[in-house]
Structure 1
Amino acid sequence: MRKNHFIQAWCNDSDVRRRAVQERVLGMARLYEVRTRADLAARAEALAGQLEVPPPSMDDLRAYARTNEMRDHLRHLDALE
């Protein structure tokens, strides 16, 4: 953000934090530097640790993407080595 400031919000609802992790990790799957499932899993684990929820598995991510009709995200997951 501007002038090196940032806001960190916290939600007491772990289900909301878990959904946030799933959505963010699905977005990370689209990054150029994320080429393998292991790359994505490492990022998922780090983010889940920050938000104090279990890291999502690839099956969890696929199920979330299917449920929320995130077809483009599914294609990116499938393209990972």
Structure 2
Amino acid sequence: EPDCILNYYDRYDRRRFKKNMVVAIETFLTTNSTLVNTAPDKWTLTGNKGGYCVQHEHTIIVTSDKPINLTAMNGIK
């Protein structure tokens, strides 16, 4: 399985989500910055121009019907 799926269109990338795949959709939100840096502790995120930076993730199961959002089952929105 792919360890990384790009978040932009690449006409040469023919990979597709398949039934029963579990996918983590990770978003990074920043104020004032356009890039995120990871600190040496491999956990802390900082923006290249300062401000705040947060990561949010949803874990989803791909099905033949509609996706199942496992994160929502934990009461996290």
Same fold (TM over 0.5): no
Q: TM-score, normalised by structure 2?
A: 0.24
TM-score (norm: length of structure 1)? 0.24
Q: Which has the larger radius of gyration?
A: 2
Relative to total residues, which structure has the larger helix share, 1 or 2? 1
